[in-house]
Amino acid sequence: MTDRTGAEAAGAGSYRSGPQGVAMRALVEHTQMCEQCTDDVQQCATGRALVRTLRETARG
């Protein structure tokens, strides 16, 4: 049995590589500097597009 800590324990380990990783990193980077996303992601076209992309890559 392996010990899981940090992001893997939270279930975010699947976002580390591939298209999901790119989408997740882009979303995190954008939301850190976007006031609209901090208030409400629905007000930001870029934030909405990144969330949509992340969902689509998760579906495969």
Tell me if 50 is assigned to some domain.
yes
pTM greater than 0.85: no
User: How many folded domains does the chain comprise?
Assistant: 1
DSSP classification of residue 17: S
For residue 48, what are the domain limits?
16-59
Tell me if 10 is assigned to some domain.
no
Q: What is the mean pLDDT of residues 10-33?
A: 77
pLDDT digits (tens, 9 = 90+) for 24-55: 899 899 999 999 988 888 899 999 999 998 88
Tell me if 45 is assigned to some domain.
yes
Tell me if 32 is assigned to some domain.
yes
At residue 23, the pLDDT reads 85
**With b meaning 16 or more CB within 10 Å and e meaning fewer, what string describes 15-28?**
beeeebeebbeebe
The answer to whether residue 6 scores a pLDDT higher than 50 is no
